[in-house]
């Protein structure tokens, strides 16, 4: 099949048809009232939230110095913050059995991506009622993301497509799976995965041929991968895509420079034999995808090749 074409930023019209649905974030009995006086001094910005499972103990939300009133409101109204609260109160959530309580949240950092919040940093004071002590509660919120394990069969050899990207937090260039963050609340995981692959590699994927590897996990896990739950809320859906290409296509992909330059994406494509994949990268997404793929294949969970 032909996989290469000029990168396009347009969305396919039928992506929604195959998108995984996501119910809107609603917190019942969620009363939110801003204090009537909010000066330009962020230390005076405060907000109160009443959660259904601790009605007698409203949660105080404060802004750290340097957070503007606009940033504070956007942080509290953001899907990142609402989803975190929803997770805290879910069946497997920290507050579900009443053993712990959320007392205070301090909004410490807000990074905007255009008109929306991209990253949100806050500190949550969570009390263990039995010991009377607080549990660690520093949160870097960035929301859901997707990544795709692409396996290309070329004359009997299976290859994987990786991207080399500059990762400032670790101070290195990292080889990793094509991946990206969800940019809205619609839960369009499959569409986002295909779009990110196209932007980062120039490969067009047929949505109906993609397999959600994380969907094979037990439902109690949420069917998502949490790469660093000790400090970050990020949850990743891992997808599999298999195709057949010529050796010429493999050559064209190798070393290809892609990415959206206006977003600061400086990406180089690498194509490596799948049998060597587990040794050439330290990317947690890649290693997790290998494990899920191999176990799903071993247990006969993957759909038959088309």
153 vs 132: CA distance, rounded Å? 58
CB 110 within 8 A of CB 66: no
220 vs 58: CA distance, rounded Å? 29
If you ran DSSP here, which 8-state letter would residue 139 be given? E
Tokens of 121: 């940093």
123 vs 59: CA distance, rounded Å? 13
Q: Tokens 């400090």 belong to which residue?
A: 231
Q: Is the dihedral of CA 36, 39, 40, 45 positive or negative?
A: negative
**pTM, rounded to two decimals:** 0.81
How many Cβ atoms are within 10 Å of 239's Cβ, its own excluded?
26
**How do 144-154 and 235-244 pair as beta strands?**
parallel
Phi and psi at 30, nearest 5°, equal -100, 100
Tokens of 17: 């048809």
How much is the pLDDT for 105? 97
pLDDT tens digits in sequence order for the chain, 306 residues long? 445 544 333 333 333 333 333 333 333 334 443 343 344 444 589 999 999 988 888 999 999 999 999 999 999 999 999 999 999 999 889 999 999 999 999 999 999 988 889 999 999 999 999 999 999 899 999 999 999 999 999 999 999 999 998 899 999 999 999 998 887 655 678 888 888 888 888 888 888 889 999 999 999 999 999 999 999 999 999 999 999 999 999 999 999 887 655 555 678 999 999 999 999 999 999 999 999 999 999 999 999 876
H/E segment holding residue 73: helix 69-77
Helix 69-77 and helix 79-89, axial crossing angle in degrees, nearest 10: 50
If you ran DSSP here, which 8-state letter would residue 177 be given? -
**How do 138-141 and 100-113 pair as beta strands?**
unpaired
Tokens of 57: 């103990």
Tokens of 146: 């997707």
- CA distances from residue 12 to 183, 216, 243, 244, 260 in whole angstroms, order as listed: 16, 26, 19, 22, 18
178: closest CA among 154, 198, 151, 158? 198
Rounded to the nearest 10 degrees, how much is the dihedral formed by the CA atoms of 26, 220, 289, 211?
-70
């Amino acid at each position: 099949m032909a996989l290469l074409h000029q990168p396009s930023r347009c969305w396919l019209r039928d992506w929604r048809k195959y998108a995984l649905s996501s119910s809107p974030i609603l917190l019942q009995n969620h009363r939110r009232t801003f204090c009537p006086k909010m000066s330009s001094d962020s230390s005076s910005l405060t907000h109160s939230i009443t959660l259904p499972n601790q009605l007698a103990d409203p949660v105080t939300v404060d802004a750290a110095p340097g957070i503007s009133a606009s940033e504070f409101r956007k942080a509290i109204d953001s899907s990142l913050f609402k989803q975190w609260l929803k997770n805290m109160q879910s069946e497997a959530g920290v507050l579900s059995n009443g053993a712990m309580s959320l007392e205070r949240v301090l909004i410490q950092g807000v990074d905007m991506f255009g008109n929306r919040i991209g990253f949100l940093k806050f500190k949550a004071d969570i009390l263990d009622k039995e010991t009377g002590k607080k549990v660690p509660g520093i949160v870097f919120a960035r929301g859901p993301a997707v990544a795709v394990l692409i396996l290309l069969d070329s004359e009997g050899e299976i290859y994987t497509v990786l991207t080399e990207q500059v990762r400032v937090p670790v101070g290195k260039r990292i080889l990793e799976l094509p991946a990206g963050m969800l940019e809205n609340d619609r839960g369009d995981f499959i569409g986002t995965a295909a779009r990110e692959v196209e932007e980062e590699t120039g490969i067009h994927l047929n949505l109906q041929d993609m397999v959600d590897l994380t969907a094979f996990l037990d439902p109690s896990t949420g069917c998502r991968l949490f790469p660093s739950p000790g400090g970050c809320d990020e949850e990743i859906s891992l997808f599999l895509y298999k195709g057949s290409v010529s050796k010429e296509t493999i050559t064209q992909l190798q070393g290809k420079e892609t990415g959206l330059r206006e977003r600061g994406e400086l990406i180089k494509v690498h194509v490596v034999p799948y049998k060597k994949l587990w040794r050439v990268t330290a990317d947690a997404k890649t290693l997790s995808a290998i494990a899920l793929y191999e176990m799903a294949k071993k247990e006969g969970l993957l759909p038959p090749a088309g």
